[in-house]
Amino acid sequence: MVSEFSSRAATEADAQTLAALNLACWRETYESLLPAETFAALSLEERLDHWRGVFQTQGGRVTLAMDAAGEAAGFAHWRAHELALGGRLGRGGEICAIYLRRSALRRGLGGALLRLMAEEMRASGLKWASLVVLRENLPARRFYEALGGRRFGRELSWRGVPQVAYGWRDVERLAAHQ
Ligand SMILES: CC(C)(COP(=O)(O)OP(=O)(O)OC[C@H]1O[C@@H](n2cnc3c(N)ncnc32)[C@H](O)[C@@H]1OP(=O)(O)O)[C@@H](O)C(=O)NCCC(=O)NCCS
């Protein structure tokens, strides 16, 4: 982890913290990317339901990052893909979310969290990783590309907004990415 930040595995006891952090990050990231009514409808209750659902039923691993003052600075969540490609590609991991507060951007924390997820996937026997990102979220796309992600597949949609997919064929390589 980057020295000015610390991180730990999150549990259901962190659901409230994650919901508030998630909402704050969404508000900072999506104001210009989501339609106004979709943006206005983002709510703490919905995020709290989401995070309780993650810990109670969906599963996967969640990491919470804190800044030097102990304030929640970002989080990352991945889980095993339901889709099994089989053959030599084996099973993969789905990066469900990686979000930092604006104050924590561009200090290496996102790269550290992505590499950590890749290492956790590797240790769980998964071979590849993928995620979806809003097509117009260009800073995040540049970040994924800088860490070796390749765009693949056709466009998707999230809350009516176009999305594109990125993938890494080899999580071991991603975990070691400089
Ligand atoms: C995307 C995100 C996780 C990246 O984390 P980060 O800590 O800011 O990125 P890092 O400092 O680890 O950057 C690693 C490299 O990625 C690239 N990169 C990161 N942000 C970039 C940007 N805004 N524009 C262009 N390249 C960027 C750079 O090559 C960078 O290396 P450098 O700083 O040495 O030039 C973070 O910016 C974030 O949380 N953004 C808001 C939420 C979001 O959009 N999440 C993704 C939703 S799918």
Quote the ligand 1 centre to 161 CA distance (angstroms).
21
* pLDDT on residue 87: 63
- For residue 63 and ligand 1, the question of a CB distance below 6 A is answered with no
Q: Is the pLDDT of residue 1 over 90?
A: no
- For residue 95 and ligand 1, the question of a CB distance below 6 A is answered with no
Q: Is the pLDDT of residue 159 over 90?
A: no
Task: Tell me how many degrees the CA angle 44-100-166 measures, rounded to the nearest 5.
Answer: 100
Q: What is the pTM of this model?
A: 0.96
Phi, psi of 115 (to 5 degrees): -65, -40
Q: pLDDT for 21-34, tens place per residue?
A: 999 999 999 999 99
Calculate the alpha carbon distances from 10 to 7, 20, 27, 31, 86 in Å: 9, 14, 22, 27, 30
% of the chain with per-residue pLDDT over 70: 97
- For residue 108 and ligand 1, the question of a CB distance below 6 A is answered with yes
**What is the pLDDT averaged over residues 9-26?**
98
Is 55:12 a contact under the CB 8 Å cutoff? yes
* pLDDT on residue 86: 58
The string over 15-31, giving b where at least 16 C-beta atoms fall within 10 Å of a residue's C-beta and e elsewhere, is: beebbebbbbbbeebbe
Record: fold of 6-175? Aminopeptidase (3.40.630)
d(C-alpha 62, C-alpha 15), whole Å: 10
List the structure tokens of 94.
């789905």
Nearest to 169 by CA among 104, 106, 122: 122
| Strand order through the sheet with 72-84 | 6-9, 61-66, 72-84, 91-100, 128-134, 161-168, 150-158
Quote the ligand 1 centre to 99 CA distance (angstroms).
10
Query: Which of 65-69, 84-88, 144-148, 169-173 shows the lowest mean pLDDT across its residues?
Result: 84-88
pLDDT bin (cut points 50, 70, 90) of residue 43 is very high
